[in-house]
Amino acid sequence: MSTLFQEFKEYLQKIQRLDHVCELLTWDMETTVPKEGFAAHADCNAYFATESFKLSTSKEMKEYLDALQSEEEMSKLDDAWKFIIKKMAKDYDKNSRIPVDFFEAITRERSDSFEAWQEAKQKDDFSIFAPHLEKMIEMSKTLYGYTDPDKNVYDAMLDTYEEGMDAATIGRLFQELKEGILPLLKKILSKEEPDTSKFQRKYNVDAQRHVQKLLLDYIGFNWERGAIGEAEHPFTMSFNSKDVRVTNHYYEDHPISSMFSAIHEGGHAIFDQNVNPAFDNTVAASCDFMGIHESQSRFYENILGRNIHFWMPIYEKVQEILPELSDVTLEEFHREINHIKNSFIRTEADEVTYCFHVILRYEIEQALFRDNLPVSELPALWNQKMEEYLQIVPETDRVGVLQDMHWSDGSFGYFPSYLLGSIYDGMLLEAIEADLGSVDELLENNHIDQITKWLNEKIHIYGNTRLPKETIREVCGREVTVEPLIKYFTEKYTKLYDL
Amino acid sequence: MSTLFQEFKEYLQKIQRLDHVCELLTWDMETTVPKEGFAAHADCNAYFATESFKLSTSKEMKEYLDALQSEEEMSKLDDAWKFIIKKMAKDYDKNSRIPVDFFEAITRERSDSFEAWQEAKQKDDFSIFAPHLEKMIEMSKTLYGYTDPDKNVYDAMLDTYEEGMDAATIGRLFQELKEGILPLLKKILSKEEPDTSKFQRKYNVDAQRHVQKLLLDYIGFNWERGAIGEAEHPFTMSFNSKDVRVTNHYYEDHPISSMFSAIHEGGHAIFDQNVNPAFDNTVAASCDFMGIHESQSRFYENILGRNIHFWMPIYEKVQEILPELSDVTLEEFHREINHIKNSFIRTEADEVTYCFHVILRYEIEQALFRDNLPVSELPALWNQKMEEYLQIVPETDRVGVLQDMHWSDGSFGYFPSYLLGSIYDGMLLEAIEADLGSVDELLENNHIDQITKWLNEKIHIYGNTRLPKETIREVCGREVTVEPLIKYFTEKYTKLYDL
């Protein structure tokens, strides 16, 4: 190891420690901090994030990166470090154009805006959130003006969350998907709805917490490297492969929500816990490609979790923990978790109508960033699109435009990742069955670990080092296509709804 | 405000942010971090604590403090800031003698040692902890050699936790207490034990968590400024008056443990939540005098919590939440929470035998630091003293020498605080009754808030600004004496045990 490289690693360690405490402050702000303690946390977060930003965009950093990119130095590095240096040089190029003051200001506004969103959602009052949302939109435009001056803002946002998946491709895929599933959805909705009377009960929240643990155990969450918390909106956070945390939110009248959030976030966590540990605390670690990341969470949640065979080895245990389900047969439970219906909340939607929840948000983000829609018109546009796609209109913003946290911290362009994830999942299902045989049989025989192992080896271990398109090409042997997802939906629901 | 003072406050803010994240790292290490994530947290904690230490002991700090202590500058400050500057100058004088490398090393060893203690307790294996304990003892001696070179090490330790209460006074008070309660204890133990058969059950842990919330609500814990967590050993942590957190530990077979931990830690928290907010983030805030602090937690736990009138307004609600208590009458419950018996675990002991748990630890600390007892002989000495004071010998170290976390992070000299707290409590009870009338009546009439208000105004609001002896003198009108505590014990248990 060269002296230069050694010094560089020490420099990175300083940045890494600053980032580590910012992660922890964020975790705590979303899970634990009391109302009056929030401001002190947010102040520390902005301070340390800015210190980290200064080190990441310093002249010293530039000198390190330039020197390490010399042919001589590069020849001494292994492949992981070659990737890391190149990726950091690319990040430096973008981020060093952001003024430090602006970076600090947007970091502070993110916390303020998140806090305002929490309050707005609790009080069901969009006006509390609106000024912060306006500011986040303006600041995000400014931010991308610095980092990607030659790109359309929304294109740059999409690229942030799924590098290399350009806006045109995403637009085309979503259009094909919409056309592919609309006829199916229409047929399903014309059939009689399953009986839901057994689900109109109160489900003990403590018991739901125990079910979450059972589900995380079952899918392979590693407790030596993982922890759990509770938050307004479920999310996963990773410090590195050795400390990956999931959160959940429990509703007394809707246990299926916390079960599927558990499986979804568990899928994210299994990804992060199984990244090559050699990448820990570098840009090669936790995967930045959110379509790929969501493909993992949604594979567990939908492809596995909404399959009756997934539940066969554990349903009796679930009933023991949650006796409110004791008169619900596995078949009835399976019908309910695949109950296709137009509903308000994205995170609780079935896997088919879910597509429209994302398309709606994607189109609204386009309206905000391409057509400069005023924030004041957002609730109306939301409701109009709900009417258009799902034929229902939320009575209040809490179950409408205020439901998701994503816009509160400026994560515009994230939502399409969910649907890209599902599109990839259709393809991954085919690839897994080609390699391992029937997923139904694997699940029924309690061999979910074989599926997890396959995902570990084919996807997780690579962390951030392979672009989404490359991953799909290498794992599935072809370019991204919606066809397998449509096929999966069609076969599954034709059978289930007797179409 | 002078420019100098303004600059100084900005300098303090830097230190304060470093301390804030260290607190958060510590909180997370004790409540949440997964096993494999511990090391990264500990590394960050040592790094940021050392950065804070460097700023606190820098030449710049010395210059600020010297300049601000000039007559001219002091005349511009309010009383709180006069106190803060003087206290910081005193701390600087001690701490600036500690070499930075040593500070960092002992901070790292504290985390390692805490982690080893956790594992040793879980595995019931003292040998895992022993080498770390040896190191903590050696390093603590070195530390006090720097900070208090002219003092005996154990005297300096005692002074750290209860400034101004010298070793001779503590020794005398403990001796008087021992002599005062031994005849009472002997009489109690000669009586027939109350029937405990109704407590030989499993108590739902989730329900115990709900009881904790009820109890915290009841005694006046402020949820807007407070949060809860779970830990191996219950503790309270304060960032400032706006973010004060308590933890608990639940045992399925021992609900009284978590109830009284809830009340105890709640007492600490009510103290910290009600310190003058003008002191936040300065050395005037969270009270360093642990005898005074323990007097508040133990006042709630024992003087109030073990009084039957405390439970009258809430016992039915407790039974609803914890139906395992439904056939236990309030009188039976009250007998059990005042069941005097020789037992192994300090935090679960009744308030009378508790005194001996502390005296035992105090004498062992003296053996370690005055007589240089080897760590290898510690378990034997523990067991010998248990035999001597409580006539029982723990079968394993988990319920013996390994039970408490205090020695793991070098908090030698802390234990006496608990007993000083109880001694103060006897005096505080007299003072409250002189001001407000019968505590029994106040509790029975659901006026615990009046007691809390009295404690807020007489003690909490002062935070760290008044030495223990002064506090007792001003609030109780006389010097510290064990007599009221002995009187309280004697009257209460003479009645309860029909002596």
- Mean pLDDT of the B396-401 span: 96
Chain B residues lying within 8 Å of A28, measured CB to CB: 24, 27-28
Q: What would the two tokens of residue B17 be?
A: 């942010």
What's the pLDDT at B413? Answer: 96
Q: How far apart are CA B213 and CA B447, in angstroms?
A: 19
What's the pLDDT at A2? Answer: 82
State yes or no: pLDDT of B166 exceeds 90: no
B242 phi/psi in degrees, rounded to 5: -95, -5
> Side-chain half-sphere of B367: how many Cα atoms within 13 Å?
17
Residues B217-243: b if buried by 16+ CB within 10 A, e if exposed? ebbbbbeebbbbbbbebbbbbbbbbbb
- 3-class SS of residue A128: helix
Residue in this structure with the two tokens 């940045």, named with its chain if needed: A15
Q: How far apart are CA A181 and CA A356, in angstroms?
A: 10
pLDDT tens, residue by residue, A138-175: 999 999 999 999 999 999 999 999 999 988 999 999 99
Q: B399, B120 in Cβ contact below 8 A? A: no
Q: A213, A229 in Cβ contact below 8 A? A: no
Q: How far apart are CA A170 and CA A176, in angstroms?
A: 10
Residues 6 or more apart in contact with residue A279 via CB below 8 angstroms: A80, A241, A285, A463, A464, A465
Burial of B1 (0-12, 13-18, 19+ CB in 10 A): exposed
- CB-based contact (8 Å) between A240 and chain B? yes
Catalytic residue among A51, A73, A265, A351: A265
Q: What would the two tokens of residue B225 be?
A: 């400024």
- Mean pLDDT of the B72-97 span: 94
Sign of CA dihedral B292, B293, B296, B298: negative
Q: How far apart are CA A183 and CA B496, in angstroms?
A: 79
Task: Report which of B161, B250, B162 is spatially closest to residue B205, judged by C-alpha positions.
Answer: B250
- CB-based contact (8 Å) between A223 and chain B? yes
| A–B CB contacts, 8 A cutoff, strictly below | 97
Q: How far apart are CA B27 and CA B238, in angstroms?
A: 10
Chain B residues lying within 8 Å of A272, measured CB to CB: none
* Alpha-carbon dihedral B221, B222, B227, B231, rounded to 10 degrees: -10
Q: B364, B382 in Cβ contact below 8 A? A: yes
Model ipTM value: 0.94
The answer to whether B24 contacts A20, with C-beta atoms less than 8 Å apart, is no
Q: How far apart are CA A207 and CA A212, in angstroms?
A: 9
Task: Find how far residue B337's CA is from the centre of its chain.
Answer: 20
Sign of CA dihedral A422, A277, B47, B463: positive
**Nearest residue of A to residue B43 by CA position?**
A17
State chain B's mean pLDDT as an integer: 96
The answer to whether B36 contacts A242, with C-beta atoms less than 8 Å apart, is yes
Sign of CA dihedral A212, A216, A217, A218: positive
The answer to whether B24 contacts A28, with C-beta atoms less than 8 Å apart, is yes
Task: Find how far residue A100's CA is from the centre of its chain.
Answer: 28
Could you tell me the pLDDT band of residue B286, with boundaries at 50, 70 and 90? confident
Measure CB to CB from residue B242 to each of A24, A37, A223 and give the nearest one.
A37
Q: A74, A135 in Cβ contact below 8 A? A: no
Give strand pairing partners of A167: none
> How far off is chain A from B397, nearest CA to CA, in Å?
25
State yes or no: pLDDT of B1 exceeds 80: no
Q: Which of B31, B44, B211, B223 would best serve as a mutation to test chain A binding (most A beta carbons within 10 A)? A: B44
The answer to whether A20 contacts B40, with C-beta atoms less than 8 Å apart, is yes
Q: Which of A23, A209, A242 would best serve as a mutation to test chain B binding (most B beta carbons within 10 A)? A: A242
Q: A77, A44 in Cβ contact below 8 A? A: no
Chain A residues lying within 8 Å of B43, measured CB to CB: 17
Amino acid letter, B320: E
Helix H or strand E segment including A228: strand A226-230
Q: How far apart are CA B247 and CA B236, in angstroms?
A: 6
Q: Which of A13, A14, A20 would best serve as a mutation to test chain B binding (most B beta carbons within 10 A)? A: A20
Task: Report which of A249, A247, A240 is spatially closest to residue A280, judged by C-alpha positions.
Answer: A240
What's the pLDDT at B2? Answer: 82
Sites in chain A below the pLDDT cut of 50: none
Q: What would the two tokens of residue B285 be?
A: 């805030």
What's the pLDDT at A70? Answer: 95
The answer to whether A242 contacts B32, with C-beta atoms less than 8 Å apart, is no
Residues 6 or more apart in contact with residue B407 via CB below 8 angstroms: B117, B133, B136
Q: What angle do CA B160, B165, B170 make, to 5 degrees?
A: 110
Chain B residues lying within 8 Å of A21, measured CB to CB: 21, 24-25, 44, 48
- Where does residue B194 fall: left (phi above 0), alpha (psi -120 to 50 degrees), or beta otherwise? beta
Percent of chain B scoring above 90 in pLDDT:
96
